[in-house]
């Protein structure tokens, strides 16, 4: 049986809400991810996890939000195809979707984020909603929040871990995309580039000269579907623990 809201009738969705089902809202971005990955990586990964989680807990996966906040270390605006929202738009978009879900009876909502730069604005939308509706609980998490040191060691066995801010279009995202949508990964197009120079400050406009020409700030050498599978298994355990802790 489908857990996708878009594939349910309104009656079925209403029934799930009356039964207290958790609604999982996947979010990502439309952003360049090197030459070997598609623009939708952040949506593909968050939707992949959201659907798995919805299946495990008999929840509902709300339609994914495919645009996100401006990428920084990913170099969003530098590359074509990155369609980015202003923060106010993102806060309002997420706020309005959450409020509609609440109006339809949702009391337990899990925001599954797939794009690093979204996070603070999601927290803002969640806060605005739960102040207004105190009987509603909203959780936010991203797959990288569920990766522990042991898993980091397993994934970054050949290449040192560069930190999550620059792990963009790199080993973790590539391995996960190989798991969820292997047909969209083209490792033959991957070219080893110099690691992005990470600044210890923020600057606007972005410094074009520190970004790699192909759009992958860290290497994806040693990415594999096997690593993707390992990650999905462990990350799902993490998400299930969060659900048990917060929505039992």
Q: Which residues are catalytic?
A: 31, 33, 42, 115, 117, 168, 173
Choose the binding region for Zn ion from 35-43, 127-135, 144-152, 185-193 (rule: CB under 5 A).
35-43
State the nearest-atom distance from the C-beta of 115 to Zn ion, in Å. Answer: 6
Q: Residue 42, interface with Zn ion (CB under 5 A)?
A: yes
Sheet with strand 108-113: strands edge to edge: 60-61, 23-27, 108-113, 137-142
Q: Which is nearer to Zn ion, 41 or 94 (CB)?
A: 41
Choose the binding region for Zn ion from 6-14, 42-50, 56-64, 192-200 (rule: CB under 5 A).
42-50
Report the residue from 41, 98, 101, 216 that binds Zn ion according to the rule CB under 5 A. 41
β-pair partners for 69: 85
Of residues 105, 112, 111, the one with CA closest to residue 21? 105
Q: Which is nearer to Zn ion, 59 or 75 (CB)?
A: 75
Q: Which is nearer to Zn ion, 36 or 95 (CB)?
A: 36
Mask 174-213, x = binds Zn ion (CB under 5 A)?
Answer: ----------------------------------------
Inter-CA distances, 72 with 79, 155, 176, 198, Å: 12, 24, 21, 11
Choose the binding region for Zn ion from 37-45, 58-66, 178-186, 222-230 (rule: CB under 5 A).
37-45
Q: Residue 119, interface with Zn ion (CB under 5 A)?
A: no
Report the sign of the C-alpha dihedral through residues 38, 44, 46, 48, in that order. negative
- What angle, 0 to 180 degrees and rounded to 10, lies between the N-to-C axes of helices 119-132 and 87-103? 40
Q: Which is nearer to Zn ion, 22 or 142 (CB)?
A: 142
Is residue 73 a contact partner of residue 196, using CB atoms and an 8 Å limit? yes
Q: Which is nearer to Zn ion, 51 or 108 (CB)?
A: 51
Distance CA 101, CA 241 (A): 23
Q: Residue 167, interface with Zn ion (CB under 5 A)?
A: no
Choose the binding region for Zn ion from 41-49, 86-94, 128-136, 224-232 (rule: CB under 5 A).
41-49
Q: What is the CA radius of gyration of the chain?
A: 18
Q: What is the DSSP string of 146-184?
A: G--HHHHHHHTSSS----GGG-SSSHHHHHHHHHH-GGG
How many residues at the interface with Zn ion, by CB under 5 A? 2
Secondary structure (3-state) at 246 = helix
- DSSP state at residue 117: G
State the nearest-atom distance from the C-beta of 38 to Zn ion, in Å. Answer: 10
State the nearest-atom distance from the C-beta of 180 to Zn ion, in Å. Answer: 13
Q: Which is nearer to Zn ion, 40 or 59 (CB)?
A: 40
Is residue 119 a contact partner of residue 165, using CB atoms and an 8 Å limit? no
β-pair partners for 113: 27, 142
Footprint of Zn ion on this chain (CB under 5 A)? 41-42
């Amino acid at each position: 049986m489908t857990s996708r809201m878009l594939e349910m009738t309104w009656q079925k969705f209403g029934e799930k809400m009356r039964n207290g089902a958790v609604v999982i809202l996947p979010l990502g971005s439309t952003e360049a991810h090197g030459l070997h990955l598609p623009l939708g990586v952040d949506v593909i990964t968050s939707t992949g996890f959201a659907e798995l989680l919805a299946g495990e807990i008999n929840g509902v996966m709300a339609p994914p939000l495919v645009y996100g906040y401006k990428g920084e270390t990913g170099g969003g605006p530098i590359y074509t195809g990155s369609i980015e929202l202003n923060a106010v738009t993102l806060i309002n978009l997420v706020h309005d979707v959450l409020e509609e879900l609440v109006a339809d009876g949702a009391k337990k909502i899990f925001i599954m984020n797939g794009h690093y730069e979204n996070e603070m604005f999601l927290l803002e939308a969640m806060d605005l909603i739960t102040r207004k509706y105190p009987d509603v609980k909203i959780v936010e998490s991203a797959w990288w929040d569920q990766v522990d040191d042991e898993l980091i060691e397993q994934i970054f066995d050949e290449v040192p871990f560069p930190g999550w801010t620059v792990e963009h279009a790199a080993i973790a995202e590539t391995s996960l995309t190989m798991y969820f949508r292997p047909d969209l990964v083209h490792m033959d197009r991957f070219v080893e580039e110099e690691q992005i120079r990470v600044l210890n400050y923020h600057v606007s406009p972005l410094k074009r000269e520190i970004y790699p020409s192909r759009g992958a700030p860290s290497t994806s050498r040693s990415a594999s579907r096997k690593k993707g599978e390992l990650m999905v298994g462990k990350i799902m355990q993490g998400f299930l623990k969060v659900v048990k802790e917060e929505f039992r």
